Amino acid sequence: MSTQAFHSIGIIGKYGDPEVAATMLHLSKFLRDRGCAVYLEATTAKYLAVHGMHVATMPEIAQACDLVITVGGDGTLLNAARELVNFNVAILGINLGRLGFLVDVSPVDMQERLTEIFDGNYLEEHRMMLTSTIYHESQEPSISDAFNDVVIHKWDVARMIETETYINGRLLNRMRGDGLIVSTPTGSTAYALSGGGPIIEPDMNAIVLVPICPHSMSYRPIVVGGDSTIEILVCEGPHTKAQVTCDGQINMGLVSGDKVMIQRNPKAVRLIHPVQHDHYEILRAKLHWGEQV
């Protein structure tokens, strides 16, 4: 009986980027040589010759695979995580992007790292996902997941928006500004970090709220429990028009009176890392800590 850790593998490449083709073909050959069934995501297949892989939709990959490998940057993995979180599929990232906090396998040592992982030598993390529900006055609610962050932000460049934020039904504050970032620990090194928020250990059960250019010097980021229910109300105004953006990839419109409810998704994202994975080393490398200038 085989002791191989994973057997049915989905491959998802950075959408619209033909430069990932060489890495994906190398990856596909490695997987097939290991005796794996390989499923190529249908949109990715538009930019790549199939070469013995099954072409499948994301729902088909979610049902058939025990591991999905993304080839690209963090954005490619973010999209896969939202699609797969409810199916308990593990995700591994090959880094062809720039920053790469989530995708930590380099194409240079891809085969060596994957050999270790498929032999059972790997680390697995379970990370939280947020679910945002927008309640509109005149239409059905809009729902979307977010692995990094849910951002409520202004639509017009020169206008502020006013919001009320409630934590577990209790008023936190009323704020005027450019918006509010609601982040997972994973997203604490993304937009929230740029807004002055703290870096949170990725396995913590916490949610970070970071104001975007608040019209008050006293408003600072706050960390609340990960099981909190966060409600954000877009206050009435003559020209209020805003947006909710999930992971910088999904946009939904807001108007005065709309309410955004944000909660932890009951399911967690399963991330696979090589045994050499070191979160602090990644922070030092990506944020250039300790470098002489």
Note the pLDDT tens digit of each residue in 215-240: 988 899 999 999 999 999 999 776 56
Per-residue pLDDT, 52 = 78
CB 160 within 8 A of CB 234: no
Compute the average pLDDT of residues 97-125: 92
State the Cα–Cα distance between residues 199 and 39, nearest whole angstrom: 36
State the Cα–Cα distance between residues 47 and 19, nearest whole angstrom: 9
Q: What is the mean pLDDT of the chain?
A: 92
**Model confidence over 192-210: pLDDT tens digits?**
999 999 999 999 999 999 9
CB 208 within 8 A of CB 221: yes
pLDDT at 2 over 60: no
pLDDT at 50 over 50: yes
pTM equals: 0.93
Q: Which residues pair with 74 in a beta bridge?
A: none
Domains of the chain, by residue range, sit at: 8-121+275-287, 129-266
CB 146 within 8 A of CB 132: yes
Which superfamily, per CATH, for 129-266? Probable inorganic polyphosphate/atp-NAD kinase; domain 2 (2.60.200.30)
Band the pLDDT of 116: cuts 50, 70, 90.
very high
Band the pLDDT of 15: cuts 50, 70, 90.
confident
The three-state secondary structure class of 87 is helix
Band the pLDDT of 1: cuts 50, 70, 90.
very low
Closest residue by Cα to residue 245 from 201, 203, 204, 190: 190
Per-residue pLDDT, 131 = 98
Q: Which residue has the higher pLDDT, 57 or 18?
A: 57
Per-residue pLDDT, 77 = 96
Band the pLDDT of 47: cuts 50, 70, 90.
confident
Per-residue pLDDT, 276 = 94
Band the pLDDT of 21: cuts 50, 70, 90.
confident
CB 143 within 8 A of CB 133: yes
Which superfamily, per CATH, for 8-121+275-287? Probable inorganic polyphosphate/atp-NAD kinase; domain 1 (3.40.50.10330)
Residue 188, burial from CB neighbour count under 10 angstroms (0-12, 13-18, 19+): buried
**Token digits for 283?**
């922070």
Catalytic residue numbers, as ranges: 74
**Token digits for 7?**
């057997």
Band the pLDDT of 212: cuts 50, 70, 90.
very high
State the Cα–Cα distance between residues 108 and 97, nearest whole angstrom: 14
